[in-house]
Amino acid sequence: MNRRQFISRSATALALSNLVGHEAFASLAPAPNKGRIGIQLYSVRDDLPNDFLGTLKKIAAMGYSQVEPYGFSSEKFFNYTMKELSKIVGDMGMTISSVHTNSRLLPEDTNAPEWDFWKNGAEYLKSGGGKYAVQAGFPGSRNLTIDELKRIAAHFNRVGEVCKKGGIRFAFHNHDGELKKVEDEVILEFLIKNTDPELVFFQIDLGHVVNGGGDCYRYMRDYPKRIAMWHASDFHATNRVYTILGKGSVPYPALFEMADSTALEVLTVEQETRVNTLAACEADFNYLKQFKWAQVI
């Protein structure tokens, strides 16, 4: 064997050994959980402080593919940065879809220092691979006038623009209070109709809609392109309690029949019960996985 043949064969052997090593390493990487069902970590808020990593592992074992942290006001969630949290849940087969936050009304000038909250938040969320920053609390007074609602809609447009420039999307998450009327205008509908569809998206909490006396089906029918996210919760309208999915008054079968014709992108469970929470979250997942939209893509 001459020198050229030796080098050639050695290079081939090295390449093969590297390939085998890479494949062996890749086989150790966690397989992503399949499907489209995520969970808002507020659902397990009583479990996380006692066993943070163990609780996340239990969620992953149920089959959830995405998580949505809550309460963003700084750069850490249970002492983990978003990038660190992304690595933790990634090793369990999950990703971060979005994050819940809360901000008051800010000055009209988006160059004001108060806007650093959203600008920094965009970078923070992107560092963990998330796509949506979700305003999870109403930013104004509950004793509203139409003029105040207009101000909030304009504020949402500005937030949406700042988030878009930062490479993420802004969404608003409703509670039952946003189903109330102000001068014959339902607050939630007013915000949908008076915000820019390119800048402001909506995460409709289905159980809260029922609790507020609203019609989930009508919202999906009338605003199919404005609602990019569902918070899958359930509320029993007669018993007036939040419950496991499928046990309340949210018409999930009818909603999923139209899901493909809407802008629905992110499906996230939020379990509102405080008894046997993890068991309830598993029941929620098992209920949702029957629907074609939620299955493997």
Q: What percentage of residues in the chain have a pLDDT greater than 70? A: 89
Strands (DSSP E) along 27-75, which ranges? 37-40, 66-68
pLDDT at 25: 35
Mean pLDDT of 8-34: 47
What amino acid is encoded at 47 in this protein? D
Distance of CA 137 to the CA centre of its chain: 15
pLDDT at 239 over 70: yes
pLDDT at 2: 39
With tokens 């159980």, the residue in question is: 207
The tokens for 291 are 């629907």
66: which strand partners? 38, 95
Cα–Cα distance between 19 and 191 in angstroms, integer? 54
pLDDT at 29: 55
* Per-residue pLDDT tens digits for 22-65: 333 334 556 889 999 999 999 999 999 999 999 999 999 999 99
**3-state SS assignment for residue 237:** coil
The tokens for 113 are 């220092």
DSSP state of 98: E
Position 15 confidence tier, pLDDT thresholds 50, 70, 90 = very low
Strands (DSSP E) along the chain, which ranges? 37-40, 66-68, 95-96, 98-101, 132-135, 169-173, 181-182, 185-186, 200-205, 227-232, 234-236, 241-243, 266-269
Position 7 confidence tier, pLDDT thresholds 50, 70, 90 = very low
Give the chain's largest Cα–Cα span.
92
* Per-residue pLDDT tens digits for 107-119: 999 999 999 999 9
* Per-residue pLDDT tens digits for 244-288: 999 999 999 999 999 999 999 999 999 998 889 999 999 999 999
CATH superfamily of 32-294: Divalent-metal-dependent TIM barrel enzymes (3.20.20.150)
* Per-residue pLDDT tens digits for 177-196: 999 999 999 999 999 999 99
Cα–Cα distance between 113 and 119 in angstroms, integer? 10
pTM: 0.88
Helix boundaries (H) for 29-101: 52-62, 82-90
pLDDT at 144 over 80: yes
Domain boundaries, the chain: 1-30, 32-294
Cα–Cα distance between 178 and 191 in angstroms, integer? 9
With tokens 């509203």, the residue in question is: 144
What mean pLDDT, rounded, does the chain reach? 89
Mean pLDDT of 132-138: 93
The tokens for 173 are 């998450």
